Structure 1
Amino acid sequence: MSFTLPLYHGPDFAQAQLKNAPNAEFRPAPMDGVAPEGYHATSIFPEYFKVNGTWLLAEESRMDCVPVLREGKIAVVEFRNLKAGEPVVVGRTEDGSQGIYVHANGFEEEKGEQDTFSFRQGRSRETAYSMDYDSIYELLRHEKDHGRILWVMGPACAFDHDARDAFAALVRGGYVHGLLAGNALATHDLEAGYLRTALGQDIYTQRSMPNGHYNHIDTINAVRLAGSTAAFVRSGKVKDGIIYECVNHDVPFVLVGSVRDDGPLPEVYGNVYEGQDAMRALVKEATTVICMASTLHTVATGNMTPSYRLVNGVVRPVYFYSVDVSEFAVNKLRDRGSLSVRTIVTNVQDFVVNVRKGVL
């Protein structure tokens, strides 16, 4: 079965409600990093703003930011990046009555008659995920050549031999266009490629090695001595793995640190806002995002990922998956406003292995 992107059905601006709507109101930002009173905050959905009689789509959006008129276009800007005097949209209605229209149903298909009451409508460890897997395989085959696939990964993805091997194969196969993670994922993956352990434990047998608790910091120290992760990989000391393949196939990765990091690796962002900017640079290109076993990085990525993307003048959906063995972890993202996320409750190591088998 071939994959087809759903068509986007834009608003009907000829209808009286929108045709007769006023222009959006703008007020200047009172100072750097501060929005004017009554500012409008963006959502994950396509939003249009009426400027000089024309409805303008915010082409690159994210939730909890403010729309600003820059060079004749609507830019969606984090509060911290506002400049004093910039014209910021004000108004808190979304129906066009203030020149602001949020279009939440642009990708909805016609739905048949449904029962008012039915079982198993939630997403839990008891959910049947066979169709989800098949859909992911089809989506990834399409996105490999027609989109940008961004992966968000926690360290659990690097602790297992088969999972590392499977994801490395996905990188080689062209199914990875970017990677977001923390210090731990990269450190333990490099440790595995360097010393065959993750946190001192053999990645295949799970046997703890003598003095194995040194292995991850020995790895960080060796990488820092080499000057960079890429230099360490190219030295030949790393034999395989996720970061190894990303370096050798020019796949960009962004590593954002936390207060508990040791080392860290040279590329890890210590300033979280610089890290957020680097993450968003990859998110802006992504058309499919798959998050695995990293609650904090998943929520962070979800908060900066809209439900749509403008590609060559065409509005298309952004597909967002959250995969975790914990129901709490996948539900937390929905609770934070990322309503378009598709959740899968399973062991991420099994998930990666299954995806590899499904597409390669």
Structure 2
Amino acid sequence: MTLNNFNINKNVLLKKAIQDKHVPDDFYSTTNHTTFICHNNKWMKVKDQRMDALIVVNEHGAVCKKLRNIKYGDMVVCGDTGVKLITEDDDKKDDSFNFMNNFVSSERRNDMLIKDLAYELFYNNKKLTLVAGPVVVHTGGDYYLSELIRQNYISSLLTGNALAVHDIEKNLYGTSLGVCAKSGKVTSKGYRNHMRAINHIMKYGSIKKAVEAKALHSGIIYECVINDVPFVLAGSLRDDGPLPDTITDIIKAQDIYSEHLKKSEIVLVLGTMLHGIASGNMLPAKTKMICVDINSAVVTKLSDRGSSQAIGMVTDVGLFLNLLANEINNLKRNLGTRVAT
């Protein structure tokens, strides 16, 4: 779809914001689909596309802006005159990663989808923006995720306090929520290990400083520090501690999430409904997104909340990461065999 397909009809209606964080009642609320507006009899593409934002027009063009970021004097699009949306079906191109859709089933061929994803990462040099919950640690997926980080397939990790705490607990004390990582049995006084992990990091002031002091030697967050992969820990009301790296100002955490998601190629959501929906709300519909969870209701809800581009994979998160890491290694071995012959 190009601008040549658009006929000039009417220009958008612009109204001035008369105070910070407040706009006229008939403001246009954005979707996550690519949007164009007609202004001064010319079509322009709206920048930073995301859902539940407003469109502000200034000397730099048209841009999506959250209500909380509106300033007095901003010229805001009101009504829907002069606004056109392009859905991904309207502008679809051939893509090797062609399984992206909102179909969810526990009976689909997940192995084929994982093969396609591995191909994108290995042959097309794509990277994953990872949105993950602590279930990654509890299911044993941390081992394979650490491997993916070392192999440079992760561009950033967006998560909460819990994943980092349980990852550090597991690598310091061999337990996750007090459960032995090897035997699967509850350990004596293991319930306090997550607090011991927080206390340990507090001694050094940050996770990075603990790694530099050689007080943390392995794990997901360790690999992020060692391999310069940025991680964002967004705080919540339920957090213990939290860790010194956890961002307790939720607006600040949301803004930092958004900055990483703007640069994302493929977003992979693992076992976190709230962080997954939040990330989906910040993304344009053209950004590829996968949601993996053992609960089909979680992956369905992501699509229901407007992220129609997301594909849902109903499977164990640890198994998914195992299969993905193994498939990438298979591609490496196959490439080596072809080169040798």
Q: TM-score, normalised by structure 1?
A: 0.85
Q: What is the aligned-residue RMSD (CA, Å)?
A: 1.7
Paired AA for residue 132 in structure 1: L
Residue 59 of structure 1 and its aligned partner are, at CA, apart by: 2.6
Report the Cα distance in structure 1 between the residues aligned to 2:91 and 2:147, rounded to whole angstroms. Answer: 33
Paired residues, number: 321
Paired AA for residue 103 in structure 1: I
Structure 1: runs of 5+ lacking an equivalent: 1-9, 93-97, 111-120, 309-317
Structure 2: runs of 5+ lacking an equivalent: 95-101, 330-341
2:85 maps to 1:102: yes
Residue 72 of structure 1 and its aligned partner are, at CA, apart by: 2.4
2:167 maps to 1:189: yes
Q: 1:255: which partner in 2?
A: 233
Q: 1:156: which partner in 2?
A: 135
Report the Cα distance in structure 2 between the residues aligned to 1:122 and 1:68, rounded to whole angstroms. Answer: 34
Helix, strand or coil for the counterpart of 1:264? coil
Helix, strand or coil for the counterpart of 2:242? coil
Q: 2:288: which partner in 1?
A: 319
Helix, strand or coil for the counterpart of 1:150? strand
The within-5 A match list for 1:1-360 is 10-11=1-2, 13-15=3-5, 18-92=6-80, 98-104=81-87, 105-108=89-92, 122-142=103-123, 144=125, 147-161=126-140, 163-308=141-286, 318-360=287-329
Q: TM-score, normalised by structure 2?
A: 0.90
Task: Determine what percentage of the aligned residue pairs are the same residue.
Answer: 30
Helix, strand or coil for the counterpart of 1:14? helix
Residue 193 of structure 1 and its aligned partner are, at CA, apart by: 1.4
Describe the superposition over 1:275-333 as per-residue Cα deviations: whole angstroms up to 9, x where unpaired: 1011101111111100000111001111111123xxxxxxxxx1100000001100111
Describe the superposition over 1:166-201 as per-residue Cα deviations: whole angstroms up to 9, x where unpaired: 100100101000011111000000111111211112
Helix, strand or coil for the counterpart of 1:273? helix
Helix, strand or coil for the counterpart of 1:19? coil
Residue 37 of structure 1 and its aligned partner are, at CA, apart by: 2.3
Q: Residues 160 and 233 of structure 1: is their aligned pair in 2 closer, same or farther, counting only changes over 3 Å?
A: farther
Helix, strand or coil for the counterpart of 2:239? coil
Residue 71 of structure 1 and its aligned partner are, at CA, apart by: 2.9
Report the Cα distance in structure 1 between the residues aligned to 2:183 and 2:90, rounded to whole angstroms. Answer: 50
Residue 106 of structure 1 and its aligned partner are, at CA, apart by: 4.1
CA contact (8 A) 1:325 1:348 kept: yes
Paired AA for residue 288 in structure 1: I
CA contact (8 A) 2:115 2:324 kept: no
Describe the superposition over 1:40-71 as per-residue Cα deviations: whole angstroms up to 9, x where unpaired: 11111110111222211123111010011133
CA contact (8 A) 1:149 1:286 kept: yes
Describe the superposition over 1:326-354 as per-residue Cα deviations: whole angstroms up to 9, x where unpaired: 01100111111111101100000100111
Q: Please, which moves more after superposition, 245-254 or 193-202?
A: 193-202
Report the Cα distance in structure 2 between the residues aligned to 1:142 and 1:84, rounded to whole angstroms. Answer: 48
CA contact (8 A) 1:143 1:288 kept: no
Q: Residues 122 and 19 of structure 1: is their aligned pair in 2 closer, same or farther, counting only changes over 3 Å?
A: closer
Residue 74 of structure 1 and its aligned partner are, at CA, apart by: 1.2
